[in-house]
Amino acid sequence: MEHLIKGFETFRRDVFPQQRELFERLASGQNPHTMFITCADSRVMPEMIFSAQPGELFVYRNVGNIVPPYAQHVSGVVAAVEYAVKVLKVRHVVICGHSDCGAMKALLDPSKLDGMPSVADWLKHADVARHVVAENTAGLDAEAHLRCLTEENVVGQLEHLRTLPVVAAAMASGSLSIHGWIYDIGEAGIRVFDGSSGRFVDMRTDGHPVPQATPMARFAQNAASAA
């Protein structure tokens, strides 16, 4: 706790004075362009990763970067999405998974959830991803299996996101775009889901993706290599 207090003192002394005008504007409201839904993992810091200023990102974090389907589970994330789209008028919603995700590891090994019934219940919203990957990753090593599950979970949560009426309406009008990303902690890389091709592709620094194999094709290649 002392470390946090000292950090705040540094912010108030060194950072705030240099951005006083910005904070004065933000004191009366916010106008973020993007809602960023990501994992609660302490290693994932959206504002740092994207060099974002205060007021640019509307960030929501939970275990496993999950968005429950509409009407199935009343939750803070669904309420936050409604607020971001309807009131803040965000133009983009990003669901971002990450490498070495503890939630995804728990899906692969349910024994890790012993004594945590609430977490186990929450992760049921990722069951579809677990089943899809289980049916398509025979012979993969643990690292590849985890990578595939992390990707498929993002795809599944994008499908859940589309079930929210406010999201469906905004997408239909062309005022909202949704995105699925995977952040690699150790490599500072991002892969993005290309909905038109069903592929995760590398994000280049100019924002244009580099095409790679589709997830299903990759499963097949990895399984053949492991055989």
Residues designated catalytic:
39, 41, 43, 98, 101
Tell me the HSE value of 170 on the side-chain side, using a 13 A CA sphere: 24
Tokens of 142: 């643990």
CB 124 within 8 A of CB 149: no
Residue 172: helix, strand or coil by DSSP? helix
| Look-up of token digits 């889901």 | 193
Rounded Cα distance, 181 and 49, in Å: 13
Residue 105: helix, strand or coil by DSSP? helix
Tokens of 82: 């409604």
Query: Cα dist. 225→141, 199, 216, 220 in Å?
Result: 11, 20, 14, 9
CB 28 within 8 A of CB 4: no
